[in-house]
């Protein structure tokens, strides 16, 4: 990816301090849920949409749902124009899409979601390191907001409240959930949030939330994806012409875990008063 170093490794942030985060909800009105997520100078537009039907490879009578993700670097997101992938996603893009989708499916109960297919699109408006991690954190917010709205509209219901095909043909109507039932069902569909954070070894020191300058100078960089109950979706650490010890590995995972707990708190707060 075309990027440009624009400074030295020194940062005004502490080693364990994350970049500033801001979120603007409902950025585009056409999506079921959307937001612009900014972490430092990395900006992600995350949009959740509901498909008209389940994927073709699902059984006709399926009663569970599916979550898919797509990821894209927009042309102006890097210092030189990033060429659109007109003929399909390339290797790096496919890898990130699969990671985002796996991460989201680790936070949702597809049986409780019911026969609904969601797609979360993550488009990078500006790239300054940690785009895949920011995409996961943003996508989780978009997915929860989408689930909340599907429950509110009566499209996502508990198993024992869903109408059969025969009931639908007979014109029966779904009984509306109470506010308490809506909250309980959201917790059943999405029992956890999921977030991700990059960490690394830079100059022999563990650094949290790597921007591009830190990442490009890191001896080791690592991406950690965790659900809000403390489960790991992925821990991927790579030595850049270097190796790292078990002690350094543990230190990086510990640093990421602390930061991700903070991200989970942010995810909860941003949607605390949102319908």
Domain membership flag for residue 241: yes
Domain membership flag for residue 194: yes
Give me the pLDDT at residue 84, please: 79
Category of 40 on φ-ψ map: left (φ > 0), alpha (ψ -120 to 50) or beta: left
Give me the pLDDT at residue 9, please: 59
Cα–Cα distance for residue pair 54/51, rounded to 1 Å:
7
Instruction: Enter the pTM of the model.
Output: 0.91
The tally of domains found in the chain comes to 1
Domain membership flag for residue 264: yes
**Residue ranges of the chain with pLDDT lower than 50?**
1-7
Greatest Cα-to-Cα distance within the chain, rounded to the nearest angstrom: 69
Task: Count other Cβ atoms within 10 Å, centred on residue 70.
Answer: 17
Give me the pLDDT at residue 8, please: 56
Give me the pLDDT at residue 5, please: 38
Q: Domain containing 262: what range?
A: 21-270
User: Nearest to residue 127, comparing CAs of 171, 72, 84?
Assistant: 72
Domain membership flag for residue 131: yes
Cα–Cα distance for residue pair 133/274, rounded to 1 Å:
24
Domain membership flag for residue 229: yes
Q: What are the tokens at 135?
A: 């995409």
At 43, which CATH number?
3.30.230.70
Give me the pLDDT at residue 78, please: 78
pLDDT tens-digit map of 53-83: 999 999 988 999 999 999 998 887 877 888 7
Domain membership flag for residue 247: yes
Domain membership flag for residue 193: yes
Give me the pLDDT at residue 179, please: 94
Give me the pLDDT at residue 167, please: 79
Domain membership flag for residue 62: yes
Cα–Cα distance for residue pair 131/45, rounded to 1 Å:
11
């Amino acid at each position: 990816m075309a990027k440009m170093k624009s400074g030295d490794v020194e940062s005004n942030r502490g080693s364990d301090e994350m970049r500033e985060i801001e979120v603007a909800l409902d950025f585009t009105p056409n999506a079921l849920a959307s937001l612009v997520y900014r972490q430092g100078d990395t900006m992600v537009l995350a949009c959740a949409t509901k498909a008209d039907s389940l994927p073709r490879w699902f059984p006709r009578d399926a009663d569970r749902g599916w979550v898919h993700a797509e990821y894209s670097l927009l042309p102006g997101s890097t210092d030189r124009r990033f060429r659109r992938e007109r003929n399909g996603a390339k290797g790096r893009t496919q890898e990130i899409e699969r990671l985002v989708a796996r991460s989201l499916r680790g936070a949702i109960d597809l049986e409780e979601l019911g026969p609904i297919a969601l797609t979360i699109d993550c488009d990078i408006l500006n790239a300054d390191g940690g785009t895949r991690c920011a995409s996961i954190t943003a996508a989780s917010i978009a997915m929860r907001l989408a689930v909340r709205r599907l429950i509110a509209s009566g499209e996502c219901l508990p198993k024992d409240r869903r109408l059969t095909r025969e009931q639908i043909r007979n014109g029966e109507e779904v009984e509306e959930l109470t506010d308490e039932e809506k909250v309980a069902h959201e917790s059943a569909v999405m029992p956890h949030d999921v977030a991700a954070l990059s960490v690394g070894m830079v100059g022999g020191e563990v650094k949290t939330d790597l921007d591009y300058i830190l990442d490009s100078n890191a001896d080791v960089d690592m991406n950690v994806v965790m659900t809000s109950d403390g489960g790991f979706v992925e821990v991927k650490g790579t030595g850049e012409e270097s190796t790292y010890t078990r002690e350094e590995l543990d230190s990086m995972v510990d640093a990421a875990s602390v930061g991700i707990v903070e991200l989970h708190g942010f995810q909860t707060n941003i949607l605390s008063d949102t319908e």
